[in-house]
Each structure stands twice: as structure tokens, then as C-alpha cells.
Structure 1
């Protein structure tokens, strides 16, 4: 395979950066949802930490580029769908329906591009 051009490498780097930012946004959305749903300051803080922590552990174990347990692509995509889908639902549950739709759309496009480029490596 021929080496990628500078604009192509820049696009891939920007897409990887967007993937990371979407992952962080998903954890934040889940943490805020857990906090709000918990109702009480301590209960909400614990629930937010547990929900976001569970998603982070699941992601690191199976969906991260250097996952602890490498699994086939369909399993990786299933974990991504679970975490990102939960985050989109969390945003909608927080009354941020427009943001949830934008988030889900960005995740979909980004995941398709990341999956395509990583399959070519």
C-alpha cells in the first residue's frame, strides 16, 4: 500500500481526535445522567461515577484501539453501540434531544470512518 498523503494523514488524525472527544463526551453524558437521576447529592455522585466507570471499563476491555481483550470487529461495534447509544439516550433523558441527535449522528459518521481506516492498516 502506498504511503498516505499529508492531507490524508491530517484527516485521519482529526478523525481519531474526534473519536476520542466523542468517547469523553459519552462518559460525561453518562456521569451527568447518573448524577441527575440519583436525585440526592451523594447518591447521584455515586451513581454517576458507577455508570461512567462501567462504560469506561467496558470500553477499555473491548472497544479501545489497544483493548485489554481483543475481540472480533462485530463485538467491538456492539460495545461501541451500547456505550454511545446509552450516552445518546442519557442526553435525551436530560432533555437535550437535539444534542442527542447531533451526538448520535457524529458518532455514526466517525465510527464508520475510524472502522474503515483501521481496517486498511
Structure 2
């Protein structure tokens, strides 16, 4: 199981990666924004992307749009992590075919439940 964690905040990436490792996910790659993530996705295969919504260069919705438009990536599960829960933002992500949401702050149980719901096994 290979997971790409995308967040512009190093601390948030670190927290997510540590939670994933505690849940026995070991093959984890990180990116600092959507643009870097897209470049990584074009060169490596992943089973899941966990991305922040708000990032410089390319935000999470734009990254998701690019993933869904790519024939080889379009079925890749994408979890969106955000502290924003406005209905317009949620609708944008749903329209872009997001696989799931995690609202900050969250704990390992929330992350684990989302991974189980998506059938992402360690």
C-alpha cells in the first residue's frame, strides 16, 4: 500500500505520516503542494492520496481535478484534509469526485475509519 501525503505544512505532514505508520502503513511519500504531488504521481504508482485543501502553487481541489482528468489516475482514491467545513467548499470537492473528507483537528480513529471505508489496507 503506497500513500502520497500532500500538505504545505511540515508539521501536518509529520503528524499524518506518524499516524499512518502507527496504523502499519509503511510506504509513504510526501509532497509540499499539489504541483509537486502531480509530478510525483506521473512518475510513481500510488494506492491513495491524502491532500490538504489549501496549499500554495496548486490547491487540493485543483490537484483532485487533475487526478480525475488523467486516464491512469482517475480512479485513485483521494482523501481531502481541511479545517474548512463550508458547504460551498464541500460541494466543490464532491463535484470534483473526492473520495472522502477529514476535518481538522482529527485523531487516528478518524483517519483509520476513513481508510477502512475506502478499503485501504496496510
State the TM-score, normalizing by the size of structure 1.
0.28
- Name the structure with the higher helix share: 1
State the TM-score, normalizing by the size of structure 2.
0.27
